[in-house]
Structures are given as C-alpha cells and as structure tokens.
C-alpha cells in the first residue's frame, strides 16, 4: 500500500475475515528490528481465518498464536498468547478436531494448558523449516484436497 500512516507502506497486510467479510487487518513490518513490528486493526475477540471453522471440507483445525503461522499451515490464529472465552466457544462448537500448534515459549505453554483443559489436542511438530509444510498445506488448501498422512 502507498499509505504512509502507521508506516503501512513498509508492512505487508494480512486481512481478517469473518463470515466472508473483511473485518480488519494486521500489518507486519518488513523493516528488521522495528520497535513496533505489528500494527493491528481488527476486533480483539476474533480469530484469524475464522471462516475455516465453517468449511465443510476441513476436518482438523490447526490453531496457532499468530496469523503468519496460521496462514503458513492453513489454520486459524488466536492473535494473543491465550484463548479468549469466545475463542474456546467457537472452537468447541465447530464440530472439528482442534489441534493446538503453540509457539515453543512461555506463552505457548500457557496456551497448551488452556488447550488441555478444553479437551483439544496439542502438537509440537518437528518442522525444521516451515517452508516445505507451508507449501504442501497451502497447495492442499487451495485445491481442497487433504494432506497425505
């Protein structure tokens, strides 16, 4: 974007949708070591990629902390270090297998504790680099075919 306010011209924008409507975005800085890496303009209670919960072809919902990780693996993100009550409600009621893929840090472990209490699965994949998985998952999501197990 050419927009200079909030340095949006130096960020890549990730749209947030809900019920097939754009409801906001996050902007991630492309400038290394910038103090404010993200600029967020979305309601605090939403999940990134919310509409995946209603996708008939999706059986498993991978849940991450941030939207970049979620976009790379074809999942949803809570956009916070812990679940909000409505996140747990939406995830529990969507009728799909919920698999938490936490960051490997203190906040990720807090997310794991909440997930276990909610009855969700937790995964710590050994991805090495996320690029090969992201390519496979993005391709599968784009074509609506399941990933090989």
What pLDDT does residue 144 have?
Answer: 36
Backbone region of residue 128 per phi and psi (left: phi > 0; alpha: psi in -120 to 50; beta: other values): left
d(CA 46, CA 90): 10
pTM of the model: 0.78
What pLDDT does residue 125 have?
Answer: 82
Say if CB 27 and CB 11 are below 8 A apart: yes
Say if CB 101 and CB 63 are below 8 A apart: yes
CA distances from 62 to 22, 31, 77, 144 (A): 21, 29, 8, 16
Residues in the chain, pLDDT under 70: 1-6, 127-149
């Amino acid at each position: 974007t050419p927009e200079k306010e909030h340095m949006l011209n130096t960020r890549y924008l990730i749209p947030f949708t809900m019920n097939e409507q754009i409801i906001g975005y996050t902007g991630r800085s492309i400038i290394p070591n910038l103090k404010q890496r993200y600029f967020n303009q979305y309601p605090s209670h939403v999940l990134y990629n919310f509409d995946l919960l209603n996708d008939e072809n999706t059986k498993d919902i991978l849940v991450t902390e941030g939207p970049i990780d979620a976009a790379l693996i074809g999942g949803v993100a809570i956009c916070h270090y812990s679940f909000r009550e409505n996140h747990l409600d939406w995830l529990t009621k969507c009728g799909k297998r919920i698999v938490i893929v936490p960051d490997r840090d203190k906040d990720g472990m807090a997310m794991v504790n909440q997930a276990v209490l909610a009855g969700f699965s937790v995964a710590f994949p050994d991805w090495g680099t996320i690029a090969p998985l992201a390519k496979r998952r993005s391709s599968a999501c784009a074509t609506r075919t399941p990933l090989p197990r």
